Amino acid sequence: MAGVVVSLAVCLLGLLVVYRCLAAWGLRAPGSLARHAVEEGPPAAQGLQPGWKIFLLGAGSRVGLLLVGMAAAMLLSDGGLTWEGAFQQLQRWDAAHYIHLIEEGYQGYTENGQHLFLVFFPGYVWAARLLRLAIPSTALAGMALSCLCYGGACCYLYRLAGEAYNGRVARDALLYMSLFPFSFFSGPVMTEGLFLLATTGACWYAWRGKWLAFGLFGALAALTRMTGLLVIAVGVIRLLEAYRPLEPPVGKSLGRCWKPLLLRLPLTLLPAAGTLLYLLLNLWVDGDPFAFASHQEHWHQGYLWISQVVEYIGRYLWDNLGSSFGWAVWAPALALFVGGLALLYWAALRRGHPAGLLAYGFCFFVATYSLSWLLSAGRYLSTCFVLFLFLAKLTQRRPALRAALLGGEGVLLGVYLCAFLAGAQVM
In a domain, 427, yes or no: no
pLDDT of residue 159: 98
In a domain, 283, yes or no: yes
Helix (H, G, I), strand (E, B) or coil at 337: helix
Contact between residue 161 and residue 389 where contact means Cβ atoms under 8 Å apart: yes
Measured CA distances, 363 to 343, 377, 386, 390 (Å) = 14, 15, 11, 15
What is the crossing angle of helices 138-164 and 122-131, to 10°?
Answer: 120
In a domain, 291, yes or no: yes
pLDDT of residue 296: 94
Alpha helices in 320-354 (DSSP H): 324-325, 331-348
In a domain, 223, yes or no: yes
Q: E strands along 58-185, which residues?
A: none
* Residues in the chain where the model's pLDDT stays below 70: 29-46
d(Cα 180, Cα 406) in Å, to the nearest integer? 8
For the chain, what is the domain count? 1
Convert the pLDDT of each residue in 114-140 to its tens digit: 999 999 999 999 999 999 999 999 999
Convert the pLDDT of each residue in 385-397 to its tens digit: 999 999 999 999 9
d(Cα 176, Cα 117) in Å, to the nearest integer? 32
pLDDT of residue 253: 87
Contact between residue 143 and residue 66 where contact means Cβ atoms under 8 Å apart: yes
In a domain, 417, yes or no: yes
Report which of 380, 2, 422 is spatially closest to residue 191, judged by C-alpha positions: 380
Q: What is the pTM for the complete model shown? A: 0.96
Contacts of residue 267, Cβ cutoff 8 Å, sequence gap at least 6: 211, 212, 214, 215, 235
pLDDT of residue 30: 58
**Domain containing 204: what range?**
2-421
In a domain, 191, yes or no: yes
pLDDT of residue 251: 82
In a domain, 74, yes or no: yes
In a domain, 426, yes or no: no
pLDDT of residue 22: 97
